Structure 1
Amino acid sequence: MKAVFVEEGTKRLFIGETDQPAMGDDELLIDVKATALNRADLLQKRGLYPPPAGASPILGLEMAGVVSAVGKAVTGWKEGDRVCALLPGGGYAERVVIPAQMAMPIPENLSFEEAAAIPEVFLTAYLNLFWLGGLQSGQTVLIHAGASGVGTAAIQLAREAGARVIVTAGSEAKRQTCLELGADLAIDYRTGPFADRVKEATAGRGVPLILDLVGASYWEQNLDCLADQGKMILIGTMGGGKVPNVNLGLLLARRLHIIGSALRTRSVQDKIALTQEFAPFALPRFADGRLKPVIDSVYDWQEVNEAHARMEGNQNTGKIVLRISR
């Protein structure tokens, strides 16, 4: 089968030949129709984010496609079914093998490209908002990088949960996208300290939950607008990974919870449990339009380098999708 590989030295991506993955008794073999980019792909191709032990070294953390073979122990799936799923790697390829319990049926109203934009960002958002963040109806959440893939998913999920949503974004167009998705307040972080706006919007109390994809450059402002006993969940370090001179006493005095989170490194059992909780909540909402994947652009996988350049330049609002042509 064909798959995308990283050229040593240049880090350019190219399509080459490799062996088809072997399927186990409790697995499905999928003909991949589309996959989507994630920042983990950018890091992995530079050697900064190796795949977990046992995972495919091929890039790609999600896919949508058609079941082409069913393991002997699998029930409930058949050849020809349209599915999407989270992956530990391997999505930039013509075929992939997944545990049958991690497959989600694609709603009839969604294309393969739309379905490929769902698993990684929506499952990441669900994990961090609800499993780790404990977000409840009526609470306020601050979501950074609101126009990113995870950000656009988190806005919609928090809205569906009845939460009040504040986001940060880096342009007027991105701010408007966030508002259209259901954010109650969208702050352009270029116009001044976002912490001041958050405190103003919460009568000085701050927010009980922050979902942060940025990291070090937002550390001080995050703590400034996090409510006492609040949770800050760190899921990215786009703004740096090291914070000098951290005042641990402040965390103690205000009883703050700082949580690091990564979906990719969780166990298969965790990912199955997450998928099976998420699917009955989310799939009916995708089917009737209450939730929607936000797609920035679709590239043929022959244009994978151009797709990566768009994400590297922070030009995207929502997901960048690769169509796996044959």
Structure 2
Amino acid sequence: MRCSFFSLGLIGLLTAGHALAAAPPAPPLTSGAAAQALYAQWFVPHSAQASASAQQLHSQVQQYCAGQAGLAAARAQFTQASQDWERLSALAMGPQIERRTARMVDFQPLRLPLLKTALRKAPQDLAAMETVGAPAKGFPAAEHLLWVDVAQPHTPACHYVGLVTAELAQEMHDLHQANLTASASTALDFHSTAEFLNQWIGGLERLRWQSMDKPLRSASPGKPAAVTRAPSQGTLTSWQAQWSSLRHLAVGDVRQPDHVSIARLVEAQGWTRLADELRTAVQQADAAMQAVDRVELARTTPASRALSQLKHLVENDVALALDVTIGFSDADGD
């Protein structure tokens, strides 16, 4: 399999990195500048990392399928790329929502019959991949063909994995470019505080309910839990990647004191004690999440409870302090 059907190239990656390095400093954190700070400080660097990892995944799969590298290297790069995507996607705003990136690159769960149909059709290029539905593509399809029905080098199945990862790399590249554009926009304003808070709560609930509680509660002796990244045994790291982003966006990092976070927005409104309460709740949730060492309901229940308590604090006290109305999300559990 040759790389002619898709290649961002080293020049493209260096250009993206140069654009990021040359970006002006983020403006002070005021209500009018918070959106631009969020894009400049969070979405641009994380989408750059996700783009680079996805391109490397595509390159590694090409080498594997050409018989020039081993399966282990492709699997390792899949793990890196999927975790970089999960860190980015924990908070979904702006271009990520507009482009429906999550559906395109990480439709859950994989629809195996559709994947088998796509393999029988054996698309030859990216144009042909446009006729393949999202449930048979993206990270879940690549994972299945690298761990379960392992695609062998020099086969149509391996060519299909190459096309899947090419699409992943293209979307991550385009998403990064869209985030760069958004970060430079002077039209951004924080409705942003409301959008940020609502989408952060939605991300927390996706982790707590959709990723952890719901699949584990739906499992039975004859029906394994349909958790994310089960084939690659990456479920725990997937959960931790999402949580690391949510934690950072909630309380920030002492090494980046000028970065936007929910706690800083609360402090900017004069609610110092509430900001401290938020930090304490995040610390408690973090301890509970770090204690999850197995994909079992009994092990995740304390973490789920801590995440629920954190959500309650943010959607009530924090939202009131910031004068934000919290809307109902389809990520909400029972």
TM-score class normalised by the smaller sequence: under 0.3
TM-score, normalising length from structure 2? 0.23
- Kindly indicate which of the two structures has a greater share of residues assigned to strand: 1
**Could you say which structure has the greater relative contact order, defined with CA pairs below 8 angstroms and 6 or more residues apart?**
2
- Kindly indicate which of the two structures has a greater share of residues assigned to helix: 2
TM-score, normalising length from structure 1? 0.23
